[in-house]
Each structure stands twice: as structure tokens, then as C-alpha cells.
């Protein structure tokens, strides 16, 4: 993963974050997902008055990409913090989103935590060790 790609994805996550729908938490998150095709899919968190239907930014980006026919991914950048301000801290993906990533990505998938001018880079294996994957259910015929 080049520094240029890391910066490009981070900027896309910071930028789309401004479109988050988060009236209840006031915590805005943006995600930018790079598919193996080269296409970048963005997502924001979308909250709901009933709370539980809330969708995280990461899953919004993944589900958008999947609906476009993508199945293979390289990296995701995530930026989150108080709505209306630039993020002060890094925002790590929640456990549900990590599991959704595992459905479509292997251990080497790159997860970039972004704030203005600074990034931390991890792999999915770093953030979801000893994972439960499609192979555990489908056996060898599973892609991952
Ligand atoms: O990695 C994260 C963490 C939280 N959220 C959202 C869910 C909720 O709308 C708000 C506060 O948890 O932030 C994300 O989208 N991604
Ligand atoms: Zn999540």
C-alpha cells in the first residue's frame, strides 16, 4: 500500500464524513473503501430514531460496493469524531463492522484510521484475530 493511496483514501473518508446523518449521537463517521477494481466507494453512518436500525459508515461503504457488483477489496479508511468539527482522535471500526469486513476480505485487508494529516495503518488480522469466516461454515469451497 503506497503512501499516496493511504492519503487518497483518508481524504475521501474525511470528506464524505461531512454527509453523516447522526442527529442522535452527534458523532459523524466517514469511510472510503478501495475495491480491487480500483473503484472507491464511500459511506457514512446513518442513524435512526429507533436507534437499532443505525448503520455504521464502514458497512454503508461495503454494502454500496457489494450492490455495485464488487466482491474483492484492498483497503478501507475510516474517520470519525464530533459532527461539525474535524476529528481529534482516531476512530476504530466497531466489532460488527469488523465481522462484515471478514465476510469479504482476508487477513491482509488494510484498515486505515484517519484524522487530518495523520493515519494509522492496520490489517484486518490485527483488528480481528482468530476470526470466524465463511470458510468455517462453507469449508474449502469458500473464497475466504
Ligand atoms: O467505527 C464506527 C464507530 C461508530 N460509528 C457510528 C455509529 C453511530 O451512528 C455513531 C456513534 O456510535 O457512530 C460508525 O459509523 N463507525
Ligand atoms: Zn460499525
Question: What is the tens place of the pLDDT at every residue in 10-47?
Answer: 999 999 999 999 999 999 999 999 999 999 999 999 99
| Atom of ligand 1 at shortest range from CA of 59 | 15
Domains and CATH numbers, the chain: 3-141 (3.40.140.10)
Q: CA-CA distance, 114 to 3, in Å (whole number)?
A: 13
| 58 in active site | yes
Residues 48-71, mean pLDDT to the nearest whole number: 98
**pLDDT, tens digit (0-9, with 9 covering 90-100), for 121-132:** 999 999 999 999
Atom of ligand 1 nearest to the CA of 56: 15
Cβ atoms 83, 112 nearer than 8 A: no
Model confidence over 80-95: pLDDT tens digits? 999 999 999 999 999 9
pTM for the model stands at 0.98
Amino acid at each position: 500500500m503506497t503512501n499516496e493511496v493511504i492519503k487518497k483514501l483518508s481524504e475521501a473518508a474525511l470528506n464524505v464524513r461531512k454527509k453523516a446523518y447522526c442527529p442522535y449521537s452527534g458523532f459523524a463517521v466517514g469511510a472510503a473503501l478501495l475495491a480491487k477494481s480500483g473503484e472507491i466507494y464511500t459511506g457514512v453512518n446513518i442513524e435512526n430514531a429507533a436507534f437499532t436500525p443505525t448503520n455504521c459508515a464502514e458497512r454503508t461503504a461495503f454494502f454500496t460496493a457489494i450492490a455495485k457488483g464488487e466482491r474483492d477489496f484492498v483497503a478501507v479508511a475510516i474517520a470519525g469524531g464530533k459532527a461539525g468539527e474535524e476529528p481529534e482522535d482516531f476512530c476504530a471500526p466497531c466489532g460488527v463492522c469488523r465481522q462484515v469486513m471478514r465476510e469479504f476480505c482476508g487477513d491482509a485487508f488494510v484498515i486505515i484510521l484517519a484524522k487530518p494529516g495523520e493515519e494509522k495503518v492496520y490489517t484486518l488480522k490485527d483488528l480481528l484475530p482468530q476470526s470466524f469466516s465463511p470458510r468455517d461454515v462453507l469449508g474449502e469451497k469458500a473464497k475466504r
